[in-house]
Amino acid sequence: MSGTVSQGILNDRIWPLILPAAAVFLALGVGPLLWMFVISFWRVDVFRIAPDLTLRNYIDAVSLHGRALASTMALGIAVAAICTVLSIAVATVIRFAKPRTGQILLFLVLVTLFGGYLTKIYAWKTILGNDGVINSGLLTAGIISTPIEQLLYSPAAVIAAMVGFLLPFAVLPVAGALRAVEMIEIEAARDLGTGPAKLFRLVILPRIRRGVIAAFLLCFCLAVGDYITPILVGGGRTALYGQMIAPQFGTLFNWPLGAAMGFTLVVAALFTGAVCAALLDRVLR
Amino acid sequence: MALLILDKLQKTYGQTAAVHPTDLSVDAGDFLAVLGPSGCGKTTLLRMIGGFVAPTAVRIHVGGQDVTGLPPERRPTNMVFQGYGLFPHMSVRQNIAYGPKVAGWPAAQIASAVDDMLALGQLEKFADRPVTDLSGGQRQRVALVRALILKPQVLLLDEPLGALDAALRASLQDELRQIHRQIGGTFVFVTHDQQEAMAMANRVAVMNDGRIAQVDSPQTIYGQPADPFVATFIGEAALLPVTVRQGRVRLPGGREAVVSGADGPRAVVLRPGDVAPAPAESPADLTVNVTDSVFQGGYNRLSLRTADGLLLRADVAVGVPLPAPGESIGIVLPARPLHTVKLPS
Ligand SMILES: Nc1ncnc2c1ncn2[C@@H]1O[C@H](COP(=O)(O)OP(=O)(O)O)[C@@H](O)[C@H]1O
Ligand SMILES: [Mg+2]
């Protein structure tokens, strides 16, 4: 039915309307990417990039930084998994709390999106740093005598900061999917013998499957591409792929390698994301 | 012994009572209709039996077991919801198999029970379609057999045909009655449609404003309504005010008629079939003015007005000479004892 409706509305004459937007998108979005793709096969002559057709950069991208790539994927999966689980909990409360409470909670979740990325990162520094809230609390209480430096500048700190930042992005698709689950479906499931625990597994999770996968992928993509958080909260101790790409376009001046690493990251993220999505799809069905 | 017993069942929301303290018992094999206007508390009553609304005060017994404190999943009842509540991510077959699967039946038993239910609901052709592809009537049948597959002691149905158009409703009424006859079982269904209640149920509970006004067979409800509300809500009725003395009333035409009910001011319930034009040369019980006459197919329906302004209707067989609108005629009431109710307030 929706097919016939959209066929009726989307006749050939409306296609020219998307031309301006398409032009902007192609020129500013796809164009530079294509240019980078071309550069990824070039080489660096003394302080100058020179046209070439070599796979050297891709080989380096994997062989020199393979470990970083793997730990970036692992970090992305960890962050996305934590965000997804938390978002299901938060969205469930939003959906099944009293309407007013649910609205307020959803509003609070949305408001944190306005907080700004750097603000949140620095907030984590003031929580986890040597004179941060936790350390000074523990010092004052006399539980420790010197600050625990590992609080900040550790993989756990990076994960915590990223989860804090990405959680709202995960809550939105899950809350949207949950909103579509009607009370009457849940009542029918109860009526047919489903206790509260099984209800989640048998009715709610399968119904919000797509929203959960969307939440996971959204968080995963944003996490693997992030290179600011690892620098600011992770210090030098976490070697993530994004951190290694950025200097190629700056201090290290190796655009071809940077471009190749960029595309390597995209391919690795697409592949890992697809595998995770397929797994989730099977598990949640 | 009654299968389902409601003992002082009651529900209040804040200050307002949705269901006043209500006693009701339903025998095994009954097809009970709970009939009443919108907002009278039918759904609330049914949902308390199913376990979806916590009653304010009471006991609910099903098959001798007190189920008052049990959640829906542990009650021996199943419900067909207003709006169906099918699982949109499952096929017809998966929807029907859901209950047995949760209950942990062996796979072979599930498969054969689902096949039986598909046949019962005439759904074989749609077995593997997603339920979102079905029409309203088909969804209704899926919801019905999905609830029936667990062989509930009592099947609860909330306005099961409410969302369907008239023709489909009539055919599903027949189907539902047939299914009840075929599998036995005890059905309690809620409706605001008196024709539907009369057509399907062997007992009807008429509800008004959170109270059950009368529980009886459809014939008794129609013939001997308990109060003015039941008399006028079920079918057409005119209420003719009279004064009862020693079980009798004097009709305006002079005849003394035997009536039911206590002495004092009462109202005689007159159905369209009870009122007939007086044959020529015989005394009339009442003189009325004909205001309209409408051909209804099998009969003519006359609209009549008494001198006091009371509107009556009379069904007159085709072939009997018809008075013209505007004419003043005499009418006779049945010779059998007339049924009275208390005067409407
Ligand atoms: N959750 C609720 N909160 C407050 N009032 C309610 C609630 N559910 C029903 N009511 C009220 O109880 C009365 C009976 O409702 P209901 O049982 O749905 O009637 P019916 O099914 O006969 O139309 C109505 O006046 C309705 O407004
Ligand atoms: Mg209702």
Find the CB nearest B98 among A184, A192, A209.
A192
Most confident of A81-90, A96-105, B328-337: A81-90
* Residue range A77-99, pLDDT digits in tens: 999 999 999 999 999 999 998 98
**A142 and A34 inside one domain:** no
Cα–Cα distances in angstroms (integers) from residue B51 to residues A152, A198, B19, B161, in the given order: 52, 18, 15, 22
Report pTM.
0.84
Across the interface, whether the CB atoms of A192 and B146 are under 8 A apart is answered yes
**A215 and A268 inside one domain:** yes
- Look at chain A and report how many structural domains it folds into: 2
Give yes or no for residue B40 CB within 6 A of ligand 1: yes
Give yes or no for residue B43 CB within 6 A of ligand 1: yes
* Residue range A123-143, pLDDT digits in tens: 888 888 878 888 888 888 888
User: Cβ distance B124 to B114 under 8 Å?
Assistant: no
Buried/exposed code over A122-135 (b: 16+ C-beta within 10 A; e: otherwise): ebbbebbbeebeeb
Query: Given pLDDT bands bounded at 50, 70 and 90, which one contains residue A236?
Result: low
**A47 and A102 inside one domain:** no
Range of weakest confidence among A159-173, A223-237, B275-289, B290-304: A223-237
On whether residue A261 sits in a domain, the answer given is: yes
Find the angle CA(B291)-CA(B297)-CA(B301) to the nearest 5 degrees: 20
* Residue B271: φ, ψ to 5°: -85, 160
On whether residue A273 sits in a domain, the answer given is: yes
On whether residue A208 sits in a domain, the answer given is: yes
CA-to-CA distance for A199 and A31, rounded, in angstroms?
49
On whether residue A9 sits in a domain, the answer given is: no
Across the interface, whether the CB atoms of B103 and A182 are under 8 A apart is answered no
Helix axes A183-191, B136-148, angle to 10 degrees: 30
**A232 and A95 inside one domain:** yes
**A165 and A264 inside one domain:** yes
The identity of residue B309, as a single letter, is G
User: Which ipTM did the prediction report?
Assistant: 0.85
**A154 and A232 inside one domain:** yes
On whether residue A66 sits in a domain, the answer given is: yes
* Residue range B152-175, pLDDT digits in tens: 999 999 998 887 888 888 888 998
CA-to-CA distance for B288 and B280, rounded, in angstroms?
15
Query: Given pLDDT bands bounded at 50, 70 and 90, which one contains residue B319?
Result: confident
On whether residue A7 sits in a domain, the answer given is: no
**A269 and A187 inside one domain:** yes
**A21 and A129 inside one domain:** no
Give yes or no for residue B99 CB within 6 A of ligand 1: no
Find the CB nearest A198 among B50, B85, B102.
B102
Select from A191, A200, A281, A285 the residue whose CB has the most chain B CBs within 10 Å, as the one to mutate to test that interface.
Answer: A191
**A143 and A22 inside one domain:** no
Query: Given pLDDT bands bounded at 50, 70 and 90, which one contains residue A116?
Result: confident
* Mean per-residue pLDDT over chain B, rounded: 92
Rounded to the nearest whole angstrom, what is the distance from the C-alpha of residue B159 to the centroid of ligand 2? 7
CA-to-CA distance for B62 and B60, rounded, in angstroms?
7
- What's the domain range around A46? 14-54
Distance from CA of B132 to the nearest CA of A (A): 12
The residues, any chain, with a CB within 8 Å of residue A86's CB and separated by 6 or more, are: A163, A167, A170
- Count the neighbouring beta carbons within 10 Å of the beta carbon of residue A115: 13
Q: What is the mean pLDDT of residues A163-183?
A: 94
DSSP code at position B296 = -
* Residue range B112-166, pLDDT digits in tens: 999 999 999 999 999 999 999 999 899 999 999 999 999 999 999 999 888 788 8
Across the interface, whether the CB atoms of B102 and A182 are under 8 A apart is answered no
User: Cβ distance B17 to B4 under 8 Å?
Assistant: no
Tokens of A227: 């290179």
**A72 and A33 inside one domain:** no
Tokens of A124: 């984590």
User: Cβ distance B122 to B73 under 8 Å?
Assistant: no
Q: Which residue from A41, A34, A30, A29 is spatially nearest to A258, judged by alpha carbons?
A: A41
**A133 and A28 inside one domain:** no
On whether residue A260 sits in a domain, the answer given is: yes
> Does an H or E element contain A176, and which?
helix A155-179
Most confident of A111-115, A239-243, B30-34, B294-298: B30-34
CATH number of the domain encompassing residue A121: 1.10.3720.10
**A181 and A49 inside one domain:** no
Distance from CA of A165 to the nearest CA of B (A): 32
List of chain B residues whose C-beta atoms are within 8 Å of the C-beta of residue A202? 98, 102
pLDDT at A248 over 50: yes
On whether residue A117 sits in a domain, the answer given is: yes
